[in-house]
A = this chain, B = another copy of it.
Amino acid sequence: MNTAFDCIPCFVRQTLNAVRLASSDTKIHALVLREVLKELSIMDLELCPPAMSMQIHRVIRRHAGNHDPYVSVKDQFNRFALALYPRLLEMVQTSNNPFETAVRLAIAGNIIDFGVNTTIDQSVVENTISATMSEPLAGDLNTLEETALSAANILYLGDNTGEIVFDKLLVTRLPMDRVTFAVRGRPIINDATMKDAVMTGMTELVPVVENGSDAPGTILEQCSDAFRKVFDAADLVIAKGQGNYETLSGSSKKIFFLLKAKCPVVADHIGYDVGASIITHSNPS
């Protein structure tokens, strides 16, 4: 999926949010803003949004001298989601349809995305959980469940910290002995890395692999050979969030995308409204 012109103002806003997390020095804020504006002015607009975002956040981290601006946000949301986990697990376990409830909650957790919105707080997450349990779920839940139950090798592409705890609910409803979970290779925005998979206990459930990249999505050519082998070997990919959708929506592989549509560009691309809870797939066949 190509970057839309409408993504550009959003990237500039993201830059400001990120550099304010990375440094309290307003001189650094001005420097980074200028550098990112310069980068954007010459950037290839045919790239997908996560490819541009990756480049922008590299500029931010380099100039701010902070390799992980979102570290405290990530820690905070992992802890918050872990505290919620027993209640969420009970919701799944007592549900008439545990698979559907686990999918809905995994999608609700996708709201914890600091690329799109830095005003996320615990009340936003709580409200999103309530809304996502009662609102329509767009897409074909039954096909997802049937495909997952019959798949030999499932690769689950994680997205954000905090959200990774919600993903545990769904992972435990899949045939776990056939699931591998993937995280980003290096810190990027508030995306989950191996450190978060360990902290949240995902590594205790299933094998977790790093994708080798610092893109906020899955740009296969940026990923490690080891990750690409895992990706190629999977006969089903479950991919969480906008970044994975933006980078893999054109794939010919069998991929189910589970996400909250959080920006108009992605929502329009899928054909739903902003705020929708969506299951969609790359390859209907």
Contacts and interface: CB of A to CB of B under 8 A. Distances in A.
Interface stretch (A7-15, A126-134, A249-257): A7-15
Contacts of A45: 30
Contacts of A41: 34-35, 37-38, 41
A40 interface: yes
Contact of A30 (B5, B6, B38): B5
Contacts of A37: 8, 37-38, 40-41
A251 B181 CA distance: 61
Nearest to A37: B41
Interface in A30-71: 30, 33-35, 37-38, 40-42, 45
| Most chain B beta-carbon contacts within 10 A, residue among A5, A26, A45 | A5
Given A6-B16, A8-B16, A16-B9, A34 B42 contact: yes
Contacts of A38: 37-38, 41
Contacts of A29: 5
5 contacts: A5-B26, A9-B16, A12-B12, A37-B40, A38-B38
B12 A16 contact: no
Interface of A: 5-6, 8-10, 12-13, 16, 26, 29-30, 33-35, 37-38, 40-42, 45
Contacts of A34: 41-42
Given A5-B16, A9-B9, A9-B13, 9 more contacts: A5-B29, A5-B33, A9-B16, A30-B45, A35-B41, A37-B37, A37-B41, A38-B38, A38-B41
Contacts of A26: 5
A5 B8 CA distance: 16
Q: Which of A16, A34, A37, A38 has the most chain B CB atoms closer than 10 A to its own CB?
A: A37
Contacts of A40: 37
Contacts of A35: 41
Closest 5 CB pairs of A and B: A37-B41, A9-B13, A38-B41, A9-B12, A34-B41
Q: Which of A10, A29, A30, A41 neighbours the largest number of chain B CB atoms within 10 Å of its CB?
A: A41
Nearest to A36: B41
